[in-house]
A and B are shown apart, each in its own frame.
Chain A
Amino acid sequence: MDAQVSVSEGPLDVTGYAGWRRGATGSDIGSERWAGASVSWWLTKQVALTFSGGRYPSEILQGLPSGGYLTLGIRIAAHRPVVPRVRSIGRPLYQIDDGGGTLRFHLPDAETVAIVGDWTGWQPTPLQRAPGGSWTLDVDLGSGVYRFNLVVDGERWIVPDGVPAVDNGYGGQSGLLIVP
């Protein structure tokens, strides 16, 4: 079980995470706790001082030990990232069933979601709110590679995390949808 919280206040972006796991048989083997935090102090719109530290657990399947870390660095960005409401995607983006294809994104806090992409002529197409914080769009796409961006709450175009991205030729990135 783990959780992560991100807060943005003034020039500071703070992210904290913590987790706990218990061995499957109730033994101590595999039972661990971990936590960490990262603080970014934006000195200008493009430059931030970042400090992070914490502890990560071992990886039993890979035989990797647990450990701690402490880092101090300078972050340089084209612009300060807005703490977005887009969550990672825990399931395939594009699902094909008997009735055709469905694009699905998990965006529980969004008010409006639209998609722009190769198959929409890069014109916004609204997604429909679905139970559980999902947003969906029924669309039949043939096998291939499609570029797209999400427009969440009318904000600038976003590539959801967990989606491969590619340089869009205009100084930003587009997400890639691989349809087998």
Chain B
Amino acid sequence: MKLLERLILLGAVTLIPTSLLAQRDPIEHLRSALPADVAAQVIPILQDAMAHDLPASAVANVALQGVAMGRGAAEVHAAAQSMVTDLRAAHDAISEGGRSPTQEETQAGAIAMRQGVDRSTLSALASSAPSGRSLTVPLAVIGALVSRGLPAGEVLHAVEQRLQGHSSDQQLAELPEGAGRMLSQGMKPAEVGTALAGMRAGFTVPASGGAVPPGGPPSGVPANGGVAGKRPAHPGQGSHGRPGGG
């Protein structure tokens, strides 16, 4: 009988979702890392997130960030609650697209929404992306491009094209930097969006801003199309960092 009980217990432990096991750490970590008054406010929010299969680590990180910035319990509570709201919205939007999002996808979606991406864009990506392809990097790239002012529709189209063309996450992750170069060369966000959407999947944006096919330009043609030098930063846009509000 004892053997049977042990087998049942072993089976039950095995069936616990790995995500749930992974999420036990944030609570213990927060309990030791946060001041008691902050922990008392934040841990119930964390437990609520876990109960809805939302990434607890994203909430925990917001709380840790707030404490590191010297913010009080009320402000940390509000920021953590706001993160849960965004995570839930992202989770629902991706689910509406027919996917069951991973925790990483939910977090990337929430960040993208904070950067100005709407729910319909998340749903559209979820429904159009090849089955089995992680949406984490594509969502992060969409958010990064939209945050630079590129139109969401063209950004979505550009990313969808590349997903259909089997572009790697590495290739996708290079898009924001390429867009940044085009913007710094004086192109307007709408023009950059059109350019990205117009390029075939696999095309990359070189340092000079033009499109180059996979494998580089034709023999004898420099990657910048033969144009020496580059344009200066767009008027009004410095080349410096910007404050993070800390």
Show the binding face of A for B, using Cβ within 8 Å.
1-2, 4, 6, 15, 17-25, 30, 34, 36, 38, 52, 54, 56-57, 59-62, 64, 69, 71, 78-79, 81-84, 86-88, 92, 116, 118, 121-123, 143-145, 147, 149-152, 156-162, 164-176, 178-180
Show the binding face of B for A, using Cβ within 8 Å.
29, 33, 57, 61-62, 64-69, 71, 75, 78-79, 82-83, 104, 107-108, 111, 114-115, 134, 136-137, 140-141, 143-144, 147-148, 168-170, 172-174, 176-177, 180, 185-187, 191, 195, 208-210, 222, 225-233, 235-236, 238-246
Contact between B236 and A160, CB atoms less than 8 A apart: no
Known: A59-B187, A62-B187, A174-B65. A166 touches B241 (CB 8 A): no
Known: A81-B243, A170-B245. A56 touches B231 (CB 8 A): yes
**Which residues from chain B contact A18 at a C-beta distance below 8 Å?**
232
Contact between A158 and B235, CB atoms less than 8 A apart: no
**Which residues from chain A contact B227 at a C-beta distance below 8 Å?**
21, 24, 30, 60-61
Nearest first, the 8 closest Cβ-Cβ pairs linking A and B are: A172-B245, A157-B246, A21-B229, A86-B241, A180-B169, A164-B144, A169-B79, A157-B244
Contact between B229 and A2, CB atoms less than 8 A apart: yes
The CA of A151 and the CA of B246, in the complex, are separated in Å by 9
Contact between A145 and B107, CB atoms less than 8 A apart: yes
**Which residues from chain A contact B136 at a C-beta distance below 8 Å?**
143-145
The CA of A81 and the CA of B68, in the complex, are separated in Å by 22
Known: A158-B241, A162-B177. A121 touches B66 (CB 8 A): no
The CA of A143 and the CA of B134, in the complex, are separated in Å by 10
Nearest to B134 among chain A residues (CB) is A143
